Amino acid sequence: MTAPAVDAAALEHGGVAAPEAAGEPARFRGALASRSLRGLVVAHSLGTAAQLALTLAVGLEVLSRTTSGIWVSIAVALGFAPYAVFSGAAGALADRWSAPAVIGATVAVRGATSAAVTAGIVLDWSTPVLVLLAAVTAVCATPSYPATAAATPQCVPAGQLPAANALVTAAENVVWLAGPGLLGLLMLVGRSTAVATGVSTLCFVLATVVAARVRLPRRAAHPASWWRAMGEGLHAVYADRAVRVPMTVAVIDNFLYGFLLVAMMLTAVASFGLLNGALTCGALAALTVVNRCAGHGRSRVVLMVVMTCLCGSVAAFAVVGATAATLSMLAVAGAGTMVAEVVAVTMLQRAARPDVLARVFGVFDQVNVGAIALGSFAAGQLSAAVGVRPATLAVCALCLVATALTLGLGRRRRREAQPIPSQQPG
């Protein structure tokens, strides 16, 4: 992985890799000097934001047609579930092909299926057809994040790699909240779900253009077979507790996030855009402190504190309901989701072996988006059985207990206590 990174950096800096001052920490500014990295991050971010807006727009369209919480949870869950099935294979794909080609192909195909969803809403196609199209779009999205993570070392000099990884992580987490925020903004100004899916289509087209402008070499062929390569990624997660612990906390965080999305729809569909906007604003505000939290020497303590705040704020939302006070609670929830995810990913990046990092991130994407799908599905089923408020309170309590048990297992590794100077913002 090192040699391609130097070659790409040399191209970016006029044929000579950028010199690095001894002992100088890598910063975001240095990573952003790479045109290739900027292009990959922008293309992936546009595609992801459009993907999430499309998934939730289809959920709202289904709700308006059926008024069924169960149907809504199925529609939203199927927009996320393909990640749980295909992202592991997508990680192996990212180890073999040029990232711009992979990302460009995924956003181009999703642009076509998104346009079909828009036509289906306008022409009043059946609800199952719309849900199926959204699920197909999600299948096509699965290679995007593993390809971006795998290509990051090709875009920057070795000394800037930690800052580049932090940048990719921050962008990934911002767009997972900004996508619903985009939909919420369109709903606030009175636009229909057809307009929202049309905007998603335009974002996919723009992402295709951006990806086409990025030039990176095709990755060297991996000697292992396709199935063996995926098995190596799974084994890297299973065999190393330092990888498993932060990944498990991220799964809990994403399960609660998926549950919250559907719970907000069921609690106040008319205010969904406003509630989503508060969630997104909280996540964006967390960017001012996320690097400090990720670089803290006691990462497990930080995760426990952040997850406590997240579960508490979601529980408070369930008790209070859709009121003005709810906005501040959801802002705290958005901030907690952002910080928990970035801290967990930072711990994972420090623990995983570099030669399997892309496949580890394929597994990471698989289990975490699967957790969002499971949380979305559980929200509809549990709310139908016992009501939205009791279901949300119970899930918050279970998530908090699961986090405490996860972070309390095993010995703390020495490397976990070391701060990361490269996580300072540029």
List the helix and strand counts (H, then E) for the chain. 17, 0
How far is 316 from 29, CA to CA, in rounded Å?
39
Count of C-beta atoms within a 10 Å radius of residue 397? 12
Tokens 């299926």 correspond to what residue?
113
Tally of CA atoms within 13 A in the half-sphere of 65 that contains its CB: 18
Q: Is the dihedral of CA 131, 330, 335, 187 positive or negative?
A: positive
Helix (H, G, I), strand (E, B) or coil at 29: helix
Rounded CA-CA distance 266/275 in Å is 12
Would you give per-residue pLDDT tens digits along the chain (426 residues)?
A: 333 333 333 333 333 333 333 344 446 677 788 899 999 999 999 999 999 889 889 988 998 888 887 888 888 888 877 777 776 666 666 666 778 888 999 999 999 999 999 999 999 999 999 999 999 999 898 888 878 877 787 788 866 766 676 678 778 767 876 777 777 777 766 678 899 899 999 999 999 999 999 988 665 555 456 566 666 667 667 777 888 888 999 999 999 998 998 888 888 766 777 787 788 788 778 877 776 777 667 888 889 999 999 999 999 988 887 667 788 888 999 889 888 887 887 787 777 776 676 677 778 877 887 888 889 889 988 988 898 889 999 999 999 999 999 998 444 444 444 444 444 443
Backbone angles phi, psi at 96, to 5 degrees: -120, -25
Which residues, 6 or more positions from 363, have their beta carbon under 8 angstroms from its beta carbon? Answer: 87, 88, 91, 233, 234, 237, 247
Half-sphere exposure of 97 (CA within 13 A, CB side): 19
CB of 104 closer than 8 Å to CB of 212: yes
Q: Given this model, what pLDDT does residue 13 score?
A: 35
Q: Quickly tell me which residue has 């990934």 as its tokens.
A: 172
Other Cβ atoms closer than 10 A to 411? 8
Cα 54 to Cα 73: distance, rounded to the nearest angstrom: 15
In the prediction, which pLDDT does 264 show? Answer: 86
Here the tokens at position 220 are 């060297």
Give 3-state DSSP helix, strand, coil % of the chain, rounded to 5.
Answer: 85, 0, 15
Give the CATH fold of the 30-223+236-418 domain: Growth Hormone; Chain: A; (1.20.1250)
